[in-house]
Amino acid sequence: MMENISHSLMSFIWNAASLILLLSIVVTIHEGGHFWVARKLGVKVLKFSIGFGKTIFSKTGRDGVEYVIAAIPLGGYVKMLDEREGEVSVQDRPYSFNQASVGKRIAIVAAGPLANFLLAIMVFWSAFMIGVPGVKPVLGEIKTGSIAQIAGLQSGEIIRSIQGEPVQTWMQVGLAFANFIGEKTSIDMEVEDPLSHTKKISRLQLTTKIGENAGESPLETLGIKVYLPQIRLGIGHVAENTPASRAGIKVDDLIVAFDGDDITYWPQLVQKLEKKAEQTVELTVLREGQLRRLKVRLGVGKNSAPQMGYLGIQPKIDEQYRQELDQLRVNLQYEPTEAFHQALIKTGKFFTLSIQTIRKILSRDVSAKNLSGPVGIAESAGNSLSVGLSQFLMFVGMISVSIGFLNLLPIPVLDGGHLFFYGIELVRGKPLSENIQEVGMKIGLVLILSLTIFALFNDISRVGM
């Protein structure tokens, strides 16, 4: 029990630290865009804050700007001299934000989202030069009666393109399928037989909209599982004071049967352990050429379903498994010019995907339960950072595009809301009344808070907090 709590605590700390690092990078660049353009256009900046709430660190620079790090790392802001927010001296009045031309105000506000898109390009570029690890898209088990089986797809085939778009990794496959979220259409998938190297195009005729069922991935909708080499049931480690050690199971034993049923691979053992917590089972093991039957009183599974049986063993990873795993690894690495080209393409794809996702959620073609809040983002940030620098950079780029896009939405309190008001001002020749803008800001604040709470509720429902 204490081990579970300790593991959960460490995981929480790692994910929280990863989220803070992620937001610090993205928010600093976003607010830095507002800051830099405001200074260049002659608007006086009073404060540059990363985070909200209580001040943790504050320093006033030689430029007269107060630089702040605040306690809640979920955003930031640039405070500019503005007559609507306080008294401004006569000599400073030309440098206040509200006295700037509408063109300058548009440039200052738009600079934040644009900085996010530039950040995305730079981190994608860096990641592609470093090399982004991935897994070759080899088809695993194809579910009987599924869309994939009807299309003629077979286990072991390698996906080469989706709707004409070349793919080399499962991540690219996921992004390609994301374009069809909320649609009931047909998708052409080109696959290659690894033995004959012959290629064919299979047409996936969707009978269910991708993303219609909350929490279901596109692969699950299609009836496809990712292929991974199977781990055999040789035992590499037996933990002390566990059901396995008490039953006499030893390192190098090979499990061949569970309650009389033959098993060969690790997933089969995991499946057998389901709903077997605190029950006595019989394991047949092969030891030094002899079969032995051992009675084992199972414990309760750690970090799993409450009824999962627990043995206390780890598999022995043999050379054959390592070789098969190495053959599935792919490293997407490009020389600088091509890496920059790929970074531009990736940024454009994420921006387009953001537009499509919002449109499909509003039209109810995609369940809004797919939205993630800070908990989901923290978990993803922690996972990507655990994999390596390039994967974390890719995630930073994705989040940066998302934040840049969301800030362009015409919702008051967001940059897009301000740009909407300034657009009206350009057309009318004068700004909207302060009362109308204030009402708009209140409505926008309610919308943003509601969306945040809803996304957080989705996180809680998803992880079972």
d(CA 381, CA 391): 9
Enumerate the β-bridge partners of residue 45.
80
Three-class DSSP labels, 223-257:
CEEECCCCCECEEEEECCCCHHHHHCCCCCCEEEE
| Both tokens assigned to 444 | 């926008």
DSSP 8-state symbol, 429? S
Calculate the alpha carbon distances from 234 to 208, 231, 264, 363 in Å.
Answer: 41, 8, 9, 52
**Catalytic residue (one of 31, 157, 190, 379):** 31
Residues 380 and 19 sit within 8 Å (Cβ to Cβ): no
d(CA 302, CA 150): 38
d(CA 258, CA 195): 34
Residues 113 and 404 sit within 8 Å (Cβ to Cβ): yes
Is 3 assigned a catalytic role? no
| Both tokens assigned to 157 | 């085939």
334: three-class secondary structure by DSSP: coil
Question: Which H or E element spans position 282?
Answer: strand 280-287
**What is 365-407 written as a DSSP string?**
SS-GGG---HHHHHHHHHHHHHH-HHHHHHHHHHHHHHHHHHH
For residue 153, what are the contacts with CB-CB under 8 A and spacing of at least 6?
Answer: 139, 142, 189, 191, 202, 224
Residue type, 111: A
d(CA 210, CA 179): 10
Report the Cα 246 to chain-centroid distance in Å: 41
Catalytic machinery residues: 31
